[in-house]
Amino acid sequence: LLTLLPACSVAGMRFNPAFLSGDTEAVADLSRFEKGMTYLPGSYEVEIWVNDSPLTSRKVTFKADEQNQLIPCFSLDELVTLGINKSALPEQAQAEGNNCLDLRIWFAEVQYTPELDAQRLKLTFPQAILKHEARGYIPPEEWDNGIPAILINYDFSGNSDRGDYASDSYYLNLRSGLNLGAWRFRDYSTWSRSGNSPGKIAHVSSTLQRVIIPFKSELTLGDTWSSSDVFDSVSIRGAKLESDENMLPDSQSGFAPTVRGIAKSNAQVTIKQNGYVIYQTYTPPGPFEINDLNPTSSAGDLEVTIKESDNSETIYTIPYAAVPILQREGHIKYSATAGKYRSNSYNQNSPNVFQGDLI
């Protein structure tokens, strides 16, 4: 009886240092190459790509991980320069400071792909931990106060009657202003004359305004009106500080919900409302967050479709309703007014007024 028993054996790869030099003790340690490592740990000049887009070129230090594979060594500050949102990282990662951070410990979707033969390092980060600038965003450093200017807008009218009861009447509506740096001065006055009476000047209002960029707000001094978002608006002479949505990009004004999801691969995310596509973007693998939807006046839930690279789709619905004072997630609208009440009647008192609201 003849029996065949097939078998195979696998031997580990080993580099014989004698092939390089007769003096084997003078040859560098080749054991790393036996384990698949083609480059030694150290510093290399590489071009850095983030999510398949070239970003910068710099010298990067590489170290070996537990699987004996090279991984880049970045401090927290260096990760921020690569587009990582510091506040999106766990506290433990933020506490590492200038130590070598391996984001794969907290985010399984993070991938490092060193291509040192091409002097390239490819990084894959989930969209949720990247700094995301809203559509239409312009950095405050690029804002301009404009040029100094004097503004005058006037409207003059009059009439002259001739006869037994001859009389003349004139009216001047004058709106003037001065722009100087960040300050804006505006004045509204009128002048009128009727018959033989002397001309009369009526001072309607004067305001001094400027924006406060760090707070995305506007400061008004002089004659103004309190906010009408929550309470009735009243005329005062004093000061008002309120948030100004004109300092936000269009995609951040008004209300729209934040859309969150998880992509299994490089995916296309499409958002529809009432059957119409209102937003479309592409995201790398991992969790993502979309917070720059344009506000819509129409009612209707949002339908989110995640189309993966293998053409599989995930579809879910986000309820949507436009409530007048509703704010976006993370946004605060506020107003604080203090001064004396301005009445159109001389018979009314002018009590001190303070009004504030926070939405």
Print pLDDT tens along the chain (359 aa).
555 556 555 555 565 656 665 555 655 555 555 555 567 888 999 999 988 888 889 999 998 888 888 889 988 888 888 888 888 888 888 887 778 888 888 888 888 999 988 899 999 988 888 887 777 888 888 888 889 999 999 999 988 877 667 678 899 999 999 999 999 999 999 999 887 778 888 888 999 999 999 899 999 999 999 888 888 888 999 999 999 988 888 888 888 888 999 998 889 999 998 888 989 988 888 889 898 888 776 678 899 999 998 999 999 999 888 777 888 888 889 999 999 998 776 677 788 989 999 88
Residue 120, amino acid: R
* 3-class DSSP assignment, residue 292: coil
| Separation CA 321–CA 38 (nearest Å) | 57
* pLDDT score at 208: 96
Answer whether 238's CB lies under 8 Å from 337's CB.
Answer: yes
Instruction: Tell me how crowded residue 229 is: count the other CB atoms within 10 A of its CB.
Output: 15
Predicted TM-score (pTM) of the model is 0.66
* pLDDT score at 334: 92
The DSSP code sequence of 276-291 is: EEEEEEEE-SEEEEE-
Query: To 10 degrees, the CA torsion angle through 204, 208, 211, 215?
Result: -90
* Long-range Cβ pairs for the range 185-194 (8 Å, 24+): 185/209, 193/168, 193/169, 194/167, 194/168, 194/169, 194/170
* pLDDT score at 137: 80
* pLDDT score at 190: 94
Three-state secondary structure along 175-213? EEEEEECCEEEEEEEEEEEECCCCCEEEEEEEEEEEEEH
Three-state secondary structure along 132-189? CCCCCCCCHHHCCCCCCEEEEEEEEEEEEECCCCCEEEEEEEEEEEEEECCEEEEEEE
* pLDDT score at 25: 60
Answer whether 18's CB lies under 8 Å from 24's CB.
Answer: yes
Q: Which two tokens stand for residue 96?
A: 């590492």
Across the strands, what pairs with 127? none
